[in-house]
Structure 1
Amino acid sequence: MEGEINSTQVERMKISTYGSFLAESLADWSKQVVSLVEQKKFYGSVIQRELALISNLFTVDNFPNITRRDGKLLNFTKLLAWFEPMLTNEYCTVFNITCNMTGCGINDKCKLEEWCVNVGEEILDGKDLDLSPVQKEFICTLRNASIVLKNGNLYTGSMSKVELPHGWGAEFAGTDNASVIYEGNWVHGKKDGLGSLYTPKSKTPYYSGSMLNDAMWGQGVLYYASGNKMFTGLMANGFIQKGKLFKDTPQSQAISSVDETNIPVVRLNFQDTEISPFLPPAATSETRD
């Protein structure tokens, strides 16, 4: 249910509570909340997906046009310069707790689909992580993994926190990595962005270009089984929309232009060829004619 605490991601949530739980650190506080949620003893309301110190709320956006007693606007930079040392040096000392001012779940700017990793906690390999540095203390990253997709095919590449393909990755025919059928960008489990499509066990793609919602969509290039260029131009929902067709030769000799005005003629001229499956199907009115 939207707004409920997800105990597997509580370190990325800001939670409203009726009172407070004493803890040695923010991590321990988070563990207490997870435990209470799982025991159904605590029902918090998720406000925002991060766990942060209260001083993070002291911004002009949250408190616009706040004036002091003398009528001057409140200077939040000076306020934080006074408040945060007091919070960390006095409050945290009195209660004997650790108040970290930076780190994952505190002041990271990671997107919901990214993982926050504290530097030093894990061994990071640049080959396996799509890194985007945030601060020296932590980084935001998409983690690489291998999973079996709903269609039964193997996926290897970047993953979101909800374990969907997100970022750069490859899909293989079947459950092993012997035959790639797509390599490129993914967004929340869908082929989206630049990528290349392959027929099973082929070493060369039959399409390279833009993808959208798992379909060839946008600027791209189609190829014959020989590897020679078949078409360059715009694709829409998996079919040729506008561009140029080429003869199956290494010289890329243009043989026809394609647009919405001549699709029926092109379909007739190239029926039963490698080009035919990529041409949009005939409309109902066109079939009657």
Structure 2
Amino acid sequence: MATSRLGEYLQGRRAQVAPSDVGLPEDGRRRVPGLRREEVAMLARISVDYYLRLEQGRERRPSSQVLDALSDALLLDDDGRLHLYRIGGMTPSPRHQGSIEHADPQLLALAEQWDRTPALILGRAYDVLAANTLGRAVFDHLQPGTNLLLAIFLDPALRSFYADWETAAANVVAGFRFLEGARPDDPRIREVLRTATENSREFADLWRRRDARGKSHAAKVLLHPEVGELTLRLQAFDVRSAPGQQLIVYHAQEGTRTADALRLLGSLTATRSGQRDDLRGRTS
């Protein structure tokens, strides 16, 4: 009988996993649905006695290695794993991800509907994964495939694009430190950190300050080459479907010069797109 929230959760979840789901044979002699305790213990590579103590509430603080192993054995998704860690009294470290990231197509499709709101989707190492049409028009030097941190320090054009480059640089370093703290062994984060350190003394100086803070509500003043000064408010949202990614949305107060400039830039971008489509149609 489970006597803790952790035990109840483990008991309930193993009942939802069929032996065939984890590559075990169905022997037809099961009195209860799901996996047996000894099967979960075997899959997690822990002793049956230890697993029994977990379910019975006699062991309430398993290690992170045990929680990860149980997450895999019980086929938990990211939310299930997070819940297991919480009731086990711990905070999980992010699961390992491959070096190549992609933006969620549905998220990008949603952002494309915002014709007056520039938006970027950033990866876990500040790679620009995608941008909506207005986002690409505003941030011409931060097209998908570039890295925000590296561009700010290594692309001379961005020094004149940000009205207050020093503050923008300090903020992006503090944000990157915050990301690095959550995933210190991530290969892409290590690669970006190494490249920035080796190629920018200014980055290295800021990195030694050890400021760490995530993106939050902030105002940005940008000097756009076509429509002039833009004063934009920034909002950052975590992407639940891809932990570590962020949706960065910029907006202008209605009735301001910036709001008018965004409408003009959107109109110019649409006109150019139409002209390119027309040219392609004539040459095809």
Structure 1 or 2: more helix by fraction: 2
TM bucket normalised to smaller: under 0.3
TM-score by length of 1: 0.27
Higher relative contact order (Cα pairs below 8 Å, separated by 6+ residues)? 2
* Structure whose CA Rg is larger: 1
Give the TM-score normalised by the residue count of structure 2: 0.28
